Amino acid sequence: MKTNIGAVLTALALLSACVSGQKELGPDGRPLPTPYVIGPGDVSRVTYSMLDSINSVRAKGGLAPLTLNAQLTAAAATHSRDMAVQNRPWHFGSDGSSPILRVQRTGYPGKMLGENISETYENEIETLTAWMQVKSTRTVIVDPAAKDVGFAWYQEPSGKIWWTLVTGG
């Protein structure tokens, strides 16, 4: 009988932790990230949220707004998926392609200027904020020569998001 009461008390304690809003902890004792889920109906909202935020940042610096470009977005989407396949955030494709080559493959007529990447559970604004805090990624966003931008992501079933932003001019 004591075993059953102990099991019931343990189950109740676990349930109360879930109900109280406590997050599940990872092996390091820190709360596990809550995935930012992007559904099929969210694509335009997420894309234009990023574009509008980038252009707000650029406007505050006296820079011209960027125009969303389908070819740069295709290069970004290809790379986001490829980073997930490789399970690592880096600028080279699994086929050895560079950002410049990926942009050339899309037929983009301008020059590829920069690429920002991220592996995270954060939303697009948190990702942009993180990019703005690092000089090398901030430079891509506020490059005065940039005229066009492509932005895409791939979300794994686990919720992890692989973001890619490409600029051109």
Cβ count within 10 A of residue 102: 25
Q: What is the mean pLDDT of the chain?
A: 87
CA distances (Å), origin 126, targets 11, 122, 151? 36, 6, 15
pLDDT at position 109 = 97
How many H helices and E strands in the chain? 6, 4
121 pLDDT more than 90: no
CA distances (Å), origin 138, targets 92, 114, 167? 20, 10, 12
127 pLDDT more than 90: yes
pLDDT at position 86 = 92
Residue 99 is which amino acid? Answer: P
Mean local confidence (pLDDT), 4-31 = 55
Long-range contacts from 48-52, C-beta under 8 angstroms, 24+ separation: 49/124, 49/125, 50/124, 50/125, 50/128, 50/151, 50/165, 51/149, 51/151
pLDDT at position 103 = 98
pLDDT at position 14 = 42
More confident residue, 31 or 141: 141
Span 54-95, pLDDT tens digits: 999 999 999 999 999 999 999 999 999 999 999 888 898 989
Span 38-59, pLDDT tens digits: 888 999 999 999 999 999 999 9
d(CA 7, CA 26) in angstroms, rounded, equals 23
pLDDT at position 3 = 44
pLDDT at position 54 = 98
d(CA 123, CA 120) in angstroms, rounded, equals 8
* pTM for this predicted structure: 0.80
